[in-house]
């Protein structure tokens, strides 16, 4: 015994994959997307100054912004971390000798 379920072996032999389908059919017979769309990130602010800070943080985060409600301070922290990670990924400039 290899410790593998029989159904796993059958699926492997059939060539089944673990890729989720793009659409699923509901009990009502209608077709629906298999995944939920990504939620829009939100930041609740109380002033126009905070609104500008929130927009700047969301702009910096881009697609890395989590799809949920964030506090302004946490969004700014995540934006700084994302910016630093991008900077480090580019690599540091080489030093010149002489």
What are residue 4's DSSP bridge partners? Answer: none
Range of the domain at 47: 38-87
What's the pLDDT score for residue 36? 75
What's the pLDDT score for residue 34? 79
**Is the separation of the CB atoms in 81 and 98 below 8 Å?**
no
pLDDT digits (tens, 9 = 90+) for 80-92: 999 999 999 998 6
Q: Round to whole Å and give the CA distance between 43 and 69.
A: 6
What's the pLDDT score for residue 25? 85
Residue 67 forms part of a structural domain: yes
Residue 56 forms part of a structural domain: yes
Q: How far is CA 45 from the centre of its chain?
A: 23
- How many folded domains does the chain comprise? 1
Residue 93 forms part of a structural domain: no
Residue 26 forms part of a structural domain: no
- At 18, the pLDDT band (50, 70, 90 cuts) reads low
pLDDT digits (tens, 9 = 90+) for 40-82: 899 999 999 999 999 999 999 998 899 899 999 999 999 999 9
Residue 28 forms part of a structural domain: no
Q: Round to whole Å and give the CA distance between 73 and 57.
A: 9
Residue 80 forms part of a structural domain: yes
């Amino acid at each position: 015994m290899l410790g593998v379920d029989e159904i796993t072996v059958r699926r492997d032999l059939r060539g089944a994959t673990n890729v989720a389908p793009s659409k699923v059919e509901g009990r009502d017979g209608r077709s629906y997307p298999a995944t939920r769309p990504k939620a829009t990130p939100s930041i609740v602010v109380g002033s126009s100054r905070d609104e500008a800070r929130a927009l700047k943080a969301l702009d910096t985060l881009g697609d890395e912004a989590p799809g949920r409600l964030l506090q302004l301070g946490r969004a700014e922290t995540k934006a700084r971390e994302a910016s630093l990670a991008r900077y480090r990924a580019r690599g540091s400039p080489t030093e010149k000798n002489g």
